[in-house]
């Protein structure tokens, strides 16, 4: 009898606690999801008409939160709070290989990105990647990679950004809508440009241009042509830049294109035409184009000696520049206000769980102390290992140099004085021979006329490297003997530095940015014997 009563109580409890979603709510959620991609405004309107959404429970509450956040994102509105999408995250976070789980983390990441909390945004987006079903090539996966690429690019992590945009490109190629390839192509081009790889950037811009022409999207085409024109301007090819921006204006005579045309004409010293286009850009409603237009009109009139007009344009430029600053400050205040409201909400939640946080804090302190102790131990162990390895390397290099000198001279040599003199002699012989060669004379001429941003042609670079190898063969063999892992580019950098060429000449010859060469030199200093480094770099 007692057992029967317990069974009946369990059944009553189950049915009493079970929540049934009203049919009208089910239909509204289903309809909103169907409208989401094509008509997000309609989807948002349907969700806003659901009465008392706070009474929804379980999956219905999570689905409502996810759909509402998605609709706000697609209509460029901020959701009421980040706790809304957090409801969906909390419900779906335990699911693996789940679209809804991935979507929840993705939109939470989007929200964090809009609030400029990039670290949290990356964490959420990477979690969204882990939650995605395997081999699911969907638009959602494309968007996750795209957003990760955008954040990494903003943080100047261009290699990571490139990896994400390549993944985005690969996923997009598998989708039915090939027009979406426009977006990763353009971002890949811009990232290549930030890495000073103009040729690769132009290649991806060309792909994006082809897509925009295929789908007859004049707005896309004009934007890409504007980007390409800027690349040509950066490379100093004003003729191509002018022709390209002319094509862009034919497709879309926007203020941005008109303004760039005026700038190009200014750089081409065509002042009357520059005035025409810059004045036209100042008539637009685009605040940034107006500001740029007035700035260049000031430059035009100043160059022409019309000081009164120049001062008038400079005043206008200052007014619009101040307007931009005020708008940016207002946006910053709005962001801070939103973050402040979210912070208050979080504090209220934290107050409810304070005791748990105290325990977690204590545990974390213990873990950090343990981690610190382990790190100190590993650091000491690593240092001891490096010291031991340094001694072994020193002995090994001494023996290597002795063997090499014995092969060259024919007898045992006492180190280190004779080894140093030997390296200095073969380096001087190479320098003397190369300076007398045709390539040496060519570089002396080039050094006087190099323009920043210009690089040697690939065929000429190969010829130069062959000439260097011919005259510095013994020195290269010596470096290879001592440092077998040293790359060919490192060796030629050492030789060009020993020749005492200026930094811009080495940049020209190696087709490498100056910053990368400074990093290379710093790395060589760490991995090279002090005496050898001094001989090469005259330090």
Mean pLDDT of 368-386: 81
More confident residue, 338 or 210: 210
Q: What is the pLDDT of residue 12?
A: 41
CA distances from 363 to 357, 368, 369, 476, 539 (A): 10, 9, 10, 57, 51
Mean pLDDT of 242-257: 89
Instruction: List own/partner pairs for 226-235 with CB under 8 A and 24 or more apart.
Output: 226/256, 226/257, 226/260, 227/186, 227/189, 227/190, 228/202, 229/260, 229/264, 230/260, 231/193, 231/198, 231/201, 231/202, 231/205, 233/263, 233/264, 233/267, 234/193, 234/198, 234/453, 235/198, 235/453
In a domain, 358, yes or no: no
Cβ atoms of 325 and 291 closer than 8 Å: no
Residue that is last in its domain, among 224, 241, 266: 266
Instruction: List own/partner pairs for 24-31 with CB under 8 A and 24 or more apart.
Output: 25/50, 25/56, 25/60, 26/60, 29/60, 29/63, 29/64, 29/67
CA distances from 470 to 264, 382, 433, 446, 482 (A): 45, 41, 9, 21, 20
Q: What is the pLDDT of residue 8?
A: 45
Mean pLDDT of 378-387: 75
pLDDT digits (tens, 9 = 90+) for 411-441: 555 454 556 777 788 888 888 988 888 888 8
- 396: pLDDT strictly greater than 50: no
- 216: pLDDT strictly greater than 90: yes
- Count of domains for the chain: 2
In a domain, 127, yes or no: yes
In a domain, 414, yes or no: no
More confident residue, 344 or 179: 179
Say which residues have a Cβ less than 8 Å from residue 388's Cβ, sequence separation at least 6.
none
| pLDDT interval class at 374 (50, 70, 90) | confident
CATH number, domain at 260? 1.25.40.10
In a domain, 293, yes or no: no
Handedness of CA 83, 85, 86, 91 (dihedral sign): positive
pLDDT digits (tens, 9 = 90+) for 91-122: 998 888 899 999 999 999 998 888 888 999 99
Least confident of 12-16, 117-121, 294-298, 412-416: 12-16
Q: What is the pLDDT of residue 255?
A: 85
Q: What is the pLDDT of residue 190?
A: 94
pLDDT digits (tens, 9 = 90+) for 445-496: 888 888 888 888 888 888 888 988 888 888 888 888 888 888 889 988 898 8
In a domain, 14, yes or no: no
Report helix, strand or coil for 456: coil
Between CA 14 and CA 228 the distance in angstroms is 66
| Closest listed residue to residue 29, CA positions, set 79, 78, 74, 64 | 64
Q: What is the pLDDT of residue 388?
A: 46
CA distances from 513 to 33, 258, 456, 516, 530 (A): 50, 32, 13, 5, 25
Cβ atoms of 299 and 330 closer than 8 Å: no
Mean pLDDT rounded to a whole number for the chain: 83
In a domain, 302, yes or no: no
In a domain, 97, yes or no: yes
In a domain, 395, yes or no: no
Q: What is the pLDDT of residue 210?
A: 94
| Closest listed residue to residue 217, CA positions, set 242, 183, 243, 241 | 183
CA distances from 18 to 15, 58, 335 (A): 5, 10, 41
Residue that is last in its domain, among 226, 245, 266: 266
Residue that is last in its domain, among 266, 285, 306: 266
More confident residue, 247 or 411: 247
pTM exceeds cut of 0.85: no
| pLDDT interval class at 367 (50, 70, 90) | confident
- 405: pLDDT strictly greater than 70: no
Q: What is the pLDDT of residue 395?
A: 41
Print the domain residue range for 498. Answer: 437-537
Least confident of 259-268, 402-411, 506-515: 402-411
Secondary structure of 233-264 as H, E, C letters? HHCCCHHHHHHHHHHHHHHCCCHHHHHHHHHH
| pLDDT interval class at 392 (50, 70, 90) | very low
């Amino acid at each position: 009898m007692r057992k029967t009563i317990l069974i009946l109580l369990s059944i009553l409890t189950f049915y009493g606690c079970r929540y049934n979603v009203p049919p009208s709510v089910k239909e509204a959620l289903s309809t909103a999801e169907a409208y989401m991609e094509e008509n997000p405004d309609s989807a948002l309107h349907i969700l806003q008409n659901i009465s008392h959404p706070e009474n929804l429970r379980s999956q219905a509450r999570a689905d409502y939160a996810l759909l509402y956040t998605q609709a706000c994102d697609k209509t460029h509105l901020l959701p009421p709070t980040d706790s809304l999408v957090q409801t969906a995250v909390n419900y779906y976070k335990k699911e693996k290989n789940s679209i809804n789980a991935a979507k929840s983390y993705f939109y939470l990441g989007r929200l964090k990105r809009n609030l400029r909390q990039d670290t949290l945004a990356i964490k959420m987006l990477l979690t969204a990647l882990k939650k995605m079903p395997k081999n699911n090539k969907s638009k959602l996966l494309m968007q996750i990679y795209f957003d990760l690429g955008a954040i990494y690019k903003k943080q100047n992590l261009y290699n990571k950004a490139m990896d994400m945009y390549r993944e985005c490109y690969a996923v997009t190629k598998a989708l039915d809508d090939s027009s979406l390839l426009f977006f990763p192509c353009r971002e890949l081009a811009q990232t290549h440009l930030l890495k000073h790889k103009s040729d690769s950037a132009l290649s991806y811009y060309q792909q994006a241009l082809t897509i925009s022409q295929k789908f007859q999207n004049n707005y896309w085409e004009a934007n890409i042509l504007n980007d390409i024109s800027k690349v040509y301007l950066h490379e100093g090819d004003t003729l191509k830049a002018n022709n390209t921006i002319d094509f862009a204006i034919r497709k879309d005579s926007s203020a941005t294109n008109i303004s760039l045309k005026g700038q190009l004409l200014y750089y081409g010293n065509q002042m009357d035409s520059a005035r025409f286009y810059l004045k036209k850009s100042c008539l637009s409603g685009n605040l940034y184009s107006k500001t740029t237009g007035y700035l260049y009109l000031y430059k035009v009139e100043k160059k022409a000696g019309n000081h009164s007009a120049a001062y008038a344009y400079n005043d206008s430029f200052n007014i619009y520049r101040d307007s931009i600053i005020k708008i940016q400050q207002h946006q910053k205040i709005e962001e801070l206000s939103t973050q402040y409201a979210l912070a208050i909400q979080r504090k209220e939640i934290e107050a409810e769980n304070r005791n748990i946080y105290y325990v977690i804090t204590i545990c974390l302190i213990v873990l950090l102390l343990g981690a610190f102790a382990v790190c100190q131990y590993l650091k000491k162990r690593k240092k001891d290992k490096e010291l031991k390895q340094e001694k072994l390397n020193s002995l090994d290099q001494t023996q290597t140099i002795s063997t090499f000198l014995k092969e060259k001279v024919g007898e045992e040599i006492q180190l280190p004085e004779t080894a140093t003199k030997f390296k200095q002699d073969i380096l001087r012989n190479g320098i003397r021979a190369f300076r007398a060669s045709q390539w040496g004379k060519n570089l002396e001429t080039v050094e006087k006329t190099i323009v920043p941003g210009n690089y040697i042609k690939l065929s000429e670079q190969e010829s130069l490297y062959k000439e260097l190898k011919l005259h510095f063969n013994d020195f290269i063999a010596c470096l290879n003997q001592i440092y077998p892992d040293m790359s060919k580019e490192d060796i030629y950098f050492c030789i060009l530095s020993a020749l005492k060429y200026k930094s811009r000449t080495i940049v020209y010859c190696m087709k490498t940015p100056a910053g990368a060469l400074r990093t290379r030199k710093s790395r060589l200093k760490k991995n090279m014997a002090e005496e050898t480094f001094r001989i090469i770099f005259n330090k």
